[in-house]
Amino acid sequence: MQRPRDRIEGEAGIVALLRPLAAAFSGALGLCDDCAELAPAPGQDLVLKCDPVREGLHFLSDDDPADIAWKALAANVSDLAAKSARPVAYLLALSFPEHPARDWLERFAAGLASAQEAFGITLAGGDTDRAPGPLSITVTVIGEVPAGRMVRRAAAERGDVLFVSGTLGDAALGLKLRRDGGLAASAVLDESEAVYLIGRYLRPVPRLGLKAALRNHARAAMDVSDGLAKDLGRMLTASAGSAGRRMGATVRAADVPLSDPFRRARAAGLASLEDAVAHGDDYEVLAAVPAAAAADFAASAAAGGVPVTAIGAIEDREGLRIVDTAGFEVALSRRGWDHF
């Protein structure tokens, strides 16, 4: 984190700098009260999600504060996208290890402003404090979905086709490039490709364009934030428990969507399939869709501007298998990110 001389000394100064971000939301009460107020629109359910990000774990200490802010909000809005919910407002809690530098906070606020505009969401309130340890940013997002229409994780069924949005593994490779300055990839990737991959790590884009496709055609969905293998395993476990029977899936490794820069890096030995299926930070959407609705789901996703790829299916067997073109299971040394 940048630490220039000009620091904001009090909480009032921090709130004053962030107040413009709440101006469009009347329930924020100008950030002058202890709480905000929100009444759901008629016929709508509220969808809530809280996901913190921490310096040294989710972002690097020398990342641009604007990128840190974007990612903190995007990581949460991505969950709303997977639930087919419309973002409405969010709460923000900042825990600083010391008085924040004014220019750092100004850059952070600018990143939030850009993300708010992109995602259609507004600051509603929050809190700040000072505590030992790395900078911690906690965002709680609130979305709306027609009553009873939230797309759940625990609703997949046998025979459902598994779809994933976008491409996987770009953030994993982007983080590698961010850490080593791109030196290892300089002979393989051109500058624009490296910038693209690093951007996928720094500024993920929630797949809000999938709202109609998910709501109208998907049976279950969740965002892929801890790795495809890890998150699909969670969907299987939740759905099996809900259905009261065993449930598994087979994913075709050859169909896992990869970007051209990732493929080039993989061919040069700088990336692997494991980076694509067992690494966090993708923030794509995994969906289980009835086979009869698969074509309509893909068409609706395309109409929403989001590419999706069928990668496998839910099966009446236990466990998750990722198989090669010959049908042999691909061994993974890890399944994804786990905090514990």
Residue-level pLDDT, tens digit, the chain, 340 residues: 444 458 887 889 999 999 999 999 999 999 999 999 999 999 999 999 999 999 987 888 889 999 999 999 999 999 999 999 999 999 999 999 988 899 999 999 999 999 999 999 999 999 999 988 899 999 999 999 999 999 999 999 999 999 999 999 999 999 988 887 655 566 788 889 989 999 999 999 999 999 999 999 999 999 999 999 999 999 999 999 876 788 999 999 999 999 999 999 999 888 999 999 999 899 999 999 999 999 999 999 999 999 999 999 999 988 999 999 988 898 887 766 666 5
Residue count (the chain)? 340
Give the whole-angstrom CA distance, residue 77 versus residue 90: 9
Which pLDDT does position 133 carry in this prediction? 84
Residue 22 and residue 30 in contact, taking contact as beta carbons nearer than 8 Å: yes
98 by Cβ neighbours in 10 Å (0-12 / 13-18 / 19+) ranks as: exposed
SS3 160: coil
Q: Which residues lie below 8 Å from residue 282, measured CB to CB, with a gap of 6+? A: 166, 168, 169, 170, 171, 204, 224, 225, 227, 228
Q: How far is CA 340 from CA 87, 171, 260, in A?
A: 30, 21, 33
Residue 145 and residue 86 in contact, taking contact as beta carbons nearer than 8 Å: yes
Which pLDDT does position 48 carry in this prediction? 97
Residue 126: alpha-carbon gap to chain centroid:
21
Which pLDDT does position 183 carry in this prediction? 53
Q: Which two tokens stand for residue 235?
A: 């969907």
Task: Give residue 12's identity as a one-letter amino acid code.
Answer: A
- CA 182-64-92 angle, 5° bins: 135
- Does the predicted model carry a pTM greater than 0.85? yes
Which pLDDT does position 337 carry in this prediction? 60
